[in-house]
Structure 1
């Protein structure tokens, strides 16, 4: 049975929306024969966020030394059995049909992103302001937007062939912007596509990491952006391109 693996990082204190994320997964209608698994990794080892998750054999929960979100995501990836991977933040929710659209799109491209809507603290839902035109993306588009500090997608909508993510080393071990880092790395070695129908409710709230002043400390924020772009440029200079092939057995 083909599987799409959903990857979520969480920390104790940022886990209060996990039940809503789980409910959005359960509501997904997948193509015939497909199933999903949810690989959650705590950035830490309290185990307490797991109390928010119902007992479900499709869900696995891991703990470990704290290393920020990128490290937690890559640790969760080690448990992913699916041929495709989709990211999901612990405070966000998938919209109906999101995983099906990812699966159908990844049948022909190595990676994709999708539109999302913002859920404001007031409860109001608004669309993203800069969505690309649906379909294949121009090479280097997101890199150029990143340089201009105007990325037109939420990188947390990223989905890809699992082997591509492994080939890129998973999510970068940064103090933030790890989703941007993987997005730009994937773009450097393979053409992706944009799905115009919203697939995610992106929750904006005062407790999210990017809402804190500390996250935007000037030197640190610059270092994150520089690291993301350096990696993408270095990959592009290799002239290496990734194409889907028959998966190699884990024992090989």
Structure 2
């Protein structure tokens, strides 16, 4: 039996990923910052709730104790993330971005990913087939955002793509440090979720496809890569 933890899983891509992995036979811990919403989501899916705020050391440590007491962990999906937006859901561009906004975004998207990964490493290292999936973004691709005429080139935001580019680097360095694990970054695509005010152009079912696929990698699967549903994408 494969045991999986998904952060930020009470809604959106995390919720759909949990649903699909449960259907595939995984025991899923649904990580949620809000205990009430998490409980309702876990009960609906048949998942195990673990209260988890990726920005809080004590919360993460408590989650580790819960999962360890129940037997361990095989797969970690770092899905929790934020994108700060302004009035009327407007993306905050270079002229408006502040250090405080950058810090808030990085606290969840980057430091949260590292905090959770570091805390759960001892459990993952005991697994016979450990996997980490870091949910990144196509906006983290320097190749894509510097290619004129593309939607990613046109995106004006700073904090969110910078944070996801950092997640990509974290992914690569952890993959090199732990060659026995399968550690990859994924781009779900522009998915309609609360993160973007539901302005995305695809469904959560479509967006979760690559997350679910990479969460089910075997020991012979790729590691240290950056993928969307069609395969590897340029850094």
TM-score of the superposition, structure 2-length normalised?
0.35
Q: Larger helix proportion, structure 1 or 2?
A: 2
Larger relative contact order, structure 1 or 2 (CA cutoff 8 Å, min sep 6):
1
